Chain A
Amino acid sequence: QSVLTQPPSASGTPGQRVTISCSGSGSNIGSNTVNWYQHLPGTAPKLLIYNNNQRPSGVPDRFSGSKSGTSASLAISGLQSEDEADFYCAAWDDSLNGWVFGGGTKLTVL
């Protein structure tokens, strides 16, 4: 059971916009910023969004993040087949004194 809650799956067709939610509590998302990671099995996970809504260099602006209270979301616009991957949210937890992750959302491009 993950500390942060994400839907196990999401899907969309090419060109569509999809959103992935992430729900936490006051000790993690409510107190700290949220990061999002993209992971293709067998490869190194990739930082997609940090500090709720900041994109590292090289990440397309099709990816955006937001946070409100104890929840956050990742939006992907102009969906492409190459976006198929597992997506994870993460936040520092002040009570656990460590990073907590969501269970991951598998994105399928139909």
Chain B
Amino acid sequence: EVQLLESGGNLVQPGGSLRLSCAASGFTFKTNAVNWVRQAPGKGLEWVSGITGSGGTTYYADSVKGRFTISRDNSKNTLYLQMNSLRAGDTAVYYCAKSRLVVVEAAALDFWGQGTLVTVSS
């Protein structure tokens, strides 16, 4: 059974940093791209970032480019999101989502975690 378990969400001040983790199990981690998708309070889903199975190629939404860094450790079956220069607009539940394929482009997100809450506030 595929499982994705996010952690690391917390309350952080504007301008601060936070690192999210997503522990994966139930599939061969390195054979699938993985993504971060967020949902702000009362809003819809917004894709944040994606990384290929090998970790060699990364993708970012314009809203987080230059501030967030996605990475993965295939030896630990874990996905990360380093978030710097956080803003109030980054407040959201952050979901880890597995792609159907090893690539990020156009590969549907077939399994999602339960999410972890990030709150940016003073």
Contacts and interface: CB of A to CB of B under 8 A. Distances in A.
Contact of A39 (B45, B61, B105): B45
Nearest to B115: A44
Interface stretch (B11-19, B71-79, B82-90, B106-114): B106-114
Interface in A71-100: 86, 88, 90-92, 96-100
- B-side interface mostly: strand
Contacts of A90: 45, 47, 108-109
Contact of A50 (B35, B97, B108): B108
A101 interface: yes
B30 interface: no
B61 A98 contact: yes
A47 B62 CA distance: 24
Interface string B47-72: 10010000000011110000000000
Contact of B106 (A32, A44, A45): A32
Contacts of A44: 4, 95, 111-115
Given A45-B95, A50-B100, A101 B112 contact: no
B70 to A, nearest CB: 12
B59 A98 contact: yes
Interface size range of chain A in the complex: 20 to 34
A35 B109 contact: yes
Q: Is the interface of A mostly helix, strand, loop or mixed?
A: strand
Interface of A: 2, 32-33, 35, 37, 39, 43-47, 50-51, 56, 86, 88, 90-92, 96-104
Interface of B: 4, 35, 37, 44-47, 50, 59-62, 95, 97, 100, 105-106, 108-115
22 contacts: A32-B106, A35-B109, A37-B45, A44-B95, A44-B111, A44-B113, A44-B115, A45-B37, A45-B97, A45-B109, A45-B112, A47-B108, A50-B100, A51-B108, A90-B108, A92-B105, A96-B61, A96-B62, A97-B59, A98-B47, A102-B44, A103-B44
